[in-house]
Structure 1
């Protein structure tokens, strides 16, 4: 196994990782960034981004991540392909293994591995992803103004997405697999009070219909067996996200869903010199702009941490 020592290692390449890289590079910390399994993160499967400041005409998601990468590289970030496959945070400095064959010893580590949306597993879901299928109403709801859409899910997130869409769309169908929701009472009440939200109980999605864009959804009532097609132009999957944090579970404090817990107001984790940014630690906002903000925080926290180490050595 090859070995290497670095000052700042950034794991992940979405808005959080690249923003951390920009700040760390400008601070002269010579960061090394590994892009991970999905270079650019979730934005690489988002066609149009219209809510990120600085792009008045909107921007294609993959292009936006190319812009971020080029800006980070301009200041000297060493951007590499590769996946962190194991870590050892039991001592200092920290050890991270890339692709099971390259060990990096890092004085500080910034984790920005993001989270992945959970999907239903339908072929049509992936084929029409970005063509009417979405996992983020706040990101994409604007494109469906005055249209009919469907939301699948039964938790707080699904209720929140349906309520948000009800203010933009003509009609919102909420597809609930059981005869009850898992969502909190207040979130259910908001859904049930909305005049243009129709909850379809005991309903499962069989297929999303449309050749090049969403045209309808075929559903089945799992009690009566009735199958019907509902004309919609948008289909929102709101069954949760899975943070990409499994390799850190033996060392970092996480919540019950696997999101890394940071000290409030900072990006610091329970391990000195390890910082977390973006959707790997944020299950509330999950936006590109908030991820970028926490990436900035992580770089500044890492810079201050390294400076304090140098002072301690000098003393």
Structure 2
């Protein structure tokens, strides 16, 4: 069998990637974790995490550090690297980064996804201070308060309905005059007494007091009049996109770029696994990423055993 640099290269050091590294290295595999940023991924942008088992509340960066220390305790290596391309040469996977070429017998893709931004003033300034892209993650911080949801698709309406269990009121702001969400979701939203709608509204700015969100400014697209809406939380759902540009040469994504796997987290390409938010799935949470990471780490070991048997 051809000599490779690593048994497995894990691309992405979020909760899924770090868990996969823990399981794979504990199985005595030679593991490299590559990430273009700091380990922990989006956890580092979360002030407090309250839905991870074992902690009533923990700071995102603190959980990131704890997961990283667990991941490297059995010898997994970690380094910065921006992956530009992956090639498959028989059973060998070739990973091309900006400054080196690496080879492995298996890959775990854990590059996550990104929420599309409104790109308006105040959005970046108040991220984590009232601006959120995940109601399940942050909704509990706005109990009995008035919140705003921006968007009109399935995610916006589903999350808006979810927020009514916590918030005093939910105002859904949409730039069109009708929703794009499924009819069943629309029916539920229209029937919910806590949900109000503002139509034909183009958000111009997210406002705040320097410490916390206070609301939004929007322009009525029909009249051109700019108006203000008060709210202590702004939840933005204008789309989400997977970080899979560098994998487009591989037959592993659906027509929207999400990676498709089987129940063992393996893609159509033997030896290439995918976990976490980059997968085609519905719930994107730390807990689901960790579960998938543990499974992938074990399945990598099982896959490598088949190569040994064949050899």
TM range (shorter): over 0.9
Q: Deviations over 1:23-63 (max 9, x none)?
A: 0011000210012246422111111100001213x111122
Find out whether 1:75 has 2:74 as its counterpart.
yes
> Which residues of 2 match residues 186-201 of structure 1 at below 5 A?
186-201=184-199
- Does the CA-based 8 Å contact 1:90-1:251 persist in structure 2? no
Number of the residue aligned with 1:17: 17
Among 268, 293, 296, which residue is 1:295 paired with? Answer: 293
* Alpha-carbon separation, structure 2, partners of 1:215 and 1:247: 39
* Alpha-carbon separation, structure 2, partners of 1:84 and 1:142: 36
* Alpha-carbon separation, structure 1, partners of 2:251 and 2:76: 26
Deviation at 1:268, TM superposition (A): 0.5
* Alpha-carbon separation, structure 1, partners of 2:131 and 2:281: 21
TM-score by length of 1: 0.95
CA pair 282-52 structure 1, distance change in 2 beyond 3 A: farther
* Alpha-carbon separation, structure 1, partners of 2:12 and 2:37: 8
* Alpha-carbon separation, structure 1, partners of 2:35 and 2:94: 17
- Does the CA-based 8 Å contact 1:11-1:36 persist in structure 2? no
* Alpha-carbon separation, structure 2, partners of 1:53 and 1:306: 31
Deviation at 1:212, TM superposition (A): 1.2
Deviation at 1:90, TM superposition (A): 5.0
- Report SS of the residue matched to 1:230: strand
Give me the CA root mean square deviation: 1.4
Number of the residue aligned with 2:233: 234
- Report SS of the residue matched to 1:49: coil
Find out whether 1:54 has 2:67 as its counterpart.
no
Find out whether 1:308 has 2:306 as its counterpart.
yes
Q: Deviations over 1:132-168 (max 9, x none)?
A: 0000000000000000000001100000010000111
Number of the residue aligned with 2:123: 125
Deviation at 1:123, TM superposition (A): 3.3
- Does the CA-based 8 Å contact 1:268-1:275 persist in structure 2? yes
- Report SS of the residue matched to 2:123: helix
- Does the CA-based 8 Å contact 1:5-1:106 persist in structure 2? yes
Q: How many matched pairs? A: 308
- Does the CA-based 8 Å contact 1:94-1:106 persist in structure 2? yes
* Alpha-carbon separation, structure 1, partners of 2:48 and 2:224: 38
Deviation at 1:184, TM superposition (A): 0.7
Structure 1 range deviating more: 31-40 or 113-122: 31-40
Number of the residue aligned with 2:140: 142
Q: Deviations over 1:223-273 (max 9, x none)?
A: 11122111100000111211101111111321222110002x220001010
> Which residues of 2 match residues 1-315 of structure 1 at below 5 A?
5-37=5-37, 39-56=39-56, 58-99=57-98, 101-210=99-208, 211-263=210-262, 265-313=263-311
- Does the CA-based 8 Å contact 2:151-2:237 persist in structure 1? yes
* Alpha-carbon separation, structure 2, partners of 1:276 and 1:166: 34
* Alpha-carbon separation, structure 2, partners of 1:89 and 1:174: 46
- Does the CA-based 8 Å contact 1:42-1:116 persist in structure 2? no
- Does the CA-based 8 Å contact 2:121-2:204 persist in structure 1? no
Long gaps (5+) in structure 1 = none
* Alpha-carbon separation, structure 2, partners of 1:250 and 1:177: 35
- Report SS of the residue matched to 1:44: helix
* Alpha-carbon separation, structure 2, partners of 1:181 and 1:157: 11
